[in-house]
C-alpha cells in the first residue's frame, strides 16, 4: 500500500508539476522584456522577447513571436553604438526605425533564425524599432507547424526538424510544451542547441515537465509562459496550464487577448486539455468547473481552433463548438496501442476566409 501511494504521488507530480506555481510564473512573465545598462533602457512590447544579454553597446534577445517592437530610451551619457542580436527570429526579418533618428545596418549571421544589426542611437532620446518579416502585417494565408511533448526523445528531434525544414512554406513552429523531460537547465541548454537544426522559429508555452524543477529556468531560457501575438491577420494565444489550471492573472490577460482576436482568425494553445476526450490518461484540468469556464471563454471569444498537448497521441474533437486537437507526438512515451507514430501537425490558415486545415505528419 505504501508503494502504491508513493507511485500515485509521483504520478500526480508528473501531471501537475512540483516547481514554481502558476501565480509565480505569471508574475515573472510581467518582468520579461525590460532591462537597462548604463544610461540606456529598453522595453520589448508585450514582453515578447527575453533579454539574454544587455551591457554597454550590446543587446541579445530571444524571441517569443515573429514580430517585435523595441523601444530604447537613452540618457545624455548613453552609449551610441549597439550590436543587436535576435535569436529565434524569422529568417526574412527586417528592421525599420519607427521613431527617432537612429540608423541600422544589417550584418550577416550563420543561423537562419539569428539576425544581427549594428545600431547607432542618438543620446537623450526615445527610439522605437520594429522587426518583422515584410509581409507580417498583410492578412493572408500562412502555414505553421505544431510540435509538443518531445521530452525524453530530444535526441531524436532532428528528424522532425528535418521534415519541417523540407517544407519551406512553414513560417514557424508552435508548441504546447513538455519540451523537456524534467525541466533542468541542462535539458534547456540541449534544446537550444538542437534548435540550431531548425530553419524557422519555435514559440512555446510550458508543460508540466518543463516546470517540475522550478527555479524559473524556463524564464531564463525561453521567456514568457503565456503570451499573445498577431501575424498576417491571425491571432495566436499561448497560455500556461502546466499545473492543470490557469492562473487568475492569466485569465485577465486572456480577456484582452480574446477581445483582440475576436475579429481575427484565432488559435489558442495550452498544454493540458480542459477535458480529456477519452479519459485514458485523465489528462485534463483538475477542476471541471474551471474547464467549463475556459471553454465558455474561448467560445465567447470566437476562437477558431484550440490545440493541446500532454496526451501522447493525436485526437480531434470539439469543445463548445470549437475544433480542438490534442497533439503530443514529439516522442514522449507514445501511446503505442493507437498505432500512431511520432508526429507533428501542419496548419494551413487563411485569416481572410476565416478558414483552416489541420493535417497530421507522422515520423516513422
**Are the C-beta atoms of 294 and 240 separated by less than 8 Å?**
no
Edge-to-edge strand order for the sheet containing 142-146?
202-204, 170-175, 142-146, 342-350, 355-363
User: What integer pLDDT is reported at residue 282 of this predicted model?
Assistant: 67
Query: Which grid cell sits at 153?
Result: 526523445
Per-domain residue ranges for the chain? 29-132, 142-363
User: What does the pLDDT read at residue 281?
Assistant: 64
Q: Where does 29-132 sit in CATH, by number? A: 2.60.120
Q: What is the pLDDT along the chain (364 residues), one digit of tens a residue?
A: 433 333 333 344 444 444 579 999 999 999 999 999 999 999 999 999 999 999 999 999 999 999 999 999 999 999 999 999 999 999 999 999 999 899 999 998 789 999 999 999 999 999 999 999 999 999 999 999 999 999 999 999 999 999 999 999 999 999 999 999 999 999 999 999 999 999 999 999 999 999 988 768 999 999 999 999 999 999 999 999 999 999 999 999 999 999 999 999 999 999 999 998 877 666 899 999 999 999 999 999 999 999 999 999 999 999 999 999 999 999 887 665 577 889 999 999 999 999 999 999 999 7
Phi/psi at 351 (5° precision): -65, -25
Q: Are strands 142-146 and 170-175 parallel, antiparallel or unpaired?
A: parallel
For the chain, the residue count is: 364
pLDDT value of position 20: 72
Could you write out the DSSP letters of every residue in 194-259? Answer: HGGG-SS-EEE---TGGGSS-TTHHHHHT--SSEEEEETTEEEEEE--TTSS--HHHHHHHHHHHH
Instruction: Determine whether domain 142-363 maps to CATH 3.30.930.10.
Output: no
CA nearest 171: which of 110, 95, 229, 109?
Answer: 229
Q: In this predicted structure, what is the pLDDT of residue 2?
A: 36
* Cα–Cα distance for residue pair 111/196, rounded to 1 Å: 7
DSSP 133-201: -TTTTS---EEEEE----GGGGGGHHHHHHHHHT-TTEEEEEE-S--SSS--HHHHHHHHHHGGG-SS-
pLDDT at 117: 98
What is the structure's pLDDT at 9?
34
Q: How far apart are CA 203 and CA 41, in angstroms?
A: 25
Residue 345: per-residue pLDDT: 98
Amino acid at each position: 500500500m505504501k508503494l502504491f501511494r508513493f507511485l500515485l504521488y509521483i504520478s500526480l507530480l508528473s501531471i501537475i508539476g512540483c516547481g514554481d506555481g502558476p501565480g509565480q510564473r505569471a508574475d515573472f512573465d510581467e518582468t520579461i522584456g525590460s532591462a537597462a545598462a548604463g544610461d540606456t533602457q529598453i522595453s520589448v512590447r508585450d514582453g515578447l522577447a527575453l533579454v539574454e544579454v544587455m551591457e554597454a553597446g550590446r543587446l541579445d534577445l530571444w524571441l517569443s513571436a515573429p514580430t517585435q517592437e523595441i523601444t530604447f530610451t537613452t540618457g545624455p551619457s548613453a552609449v551610441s553604438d549597439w550590436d543587436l542580436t535576435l535569436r529565434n527570429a524569422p529568417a526574412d526579418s527586417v528592421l525599420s526605425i519607427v521613431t527617432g533618428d537612429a540608423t541600422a545596418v544589417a550584418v550577416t549571421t550563420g543561423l537562419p533564425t539569428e539576425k544581427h544589426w549594428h545600431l547607432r542611437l542618438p543620446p537623450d532620446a526615445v527610439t522605437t524599432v520594429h522587426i518583422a518579416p515584410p509581409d507580417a502585417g498583410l492578412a493572408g494565408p500562412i502555414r505553421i507547424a505544431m510540435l509538443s511533448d518531445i521530452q525524453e526523445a530530444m535526441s531524436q528531434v532532428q528528424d522532425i526538424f528535418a521534415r519541417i525544414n523540407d517544407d519551406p512554406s512553414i513560417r514557424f513552429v508552435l508548441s504546447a510544451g513538455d519540451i523537456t523531460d524534467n525541466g533542468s537547465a541542462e535539458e534547456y541548454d540541449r534544446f537550444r542547441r538542437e534548435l540550431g537544426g531548425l530553419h524557422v522559429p519555435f514559440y512555446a508555452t510550458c508543460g508540466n515537465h518543463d516546470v517540475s524543477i522550478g527555479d524559473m529556468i524556463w524564464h531564463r531560457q525561453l521567456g514568457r509562459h503565456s503570451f499573445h501575438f498577431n501575424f498576417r491577420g491571425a491571432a495566436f494565444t499561448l497560455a500556461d496550464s502546466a499545473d492543470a489550471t490557469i492562473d487568475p492573472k492569466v485569465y485577465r490577460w486572456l480577456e484582452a487577448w480574446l477581445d483582440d482576436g475576436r475579429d481575427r482568425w484565432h488559435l489558442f494553445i495550452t498544454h493540458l486539455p480542459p477535458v480529456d476526450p477519452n479519459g485514458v490518461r485523465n489528462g485534463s484540468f483538475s477542476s471541471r468547473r474551471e474547464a467549463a469556464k475556459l471553454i465558455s471563454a474561448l467560445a465567447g471569444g470566437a476562437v477558431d481552433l484550440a490545440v493541446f498537448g500532454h496526451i501522447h497521441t493525436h485526437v480531434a474533437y470539439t469543445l463548445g463548438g470549437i475544433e480542438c486537437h490534442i497533439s503530443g507526438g514529439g516522442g514522449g512515451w507514445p501511446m503505442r496501442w493507437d498505432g500512431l507514430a511520432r508526429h507533428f501537425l501542419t496548419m494551413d490558415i487563411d485569416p481572410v476566409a476565416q478558414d483552416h486545415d489541420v493535417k497530421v505528419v507522422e515520423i516513422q
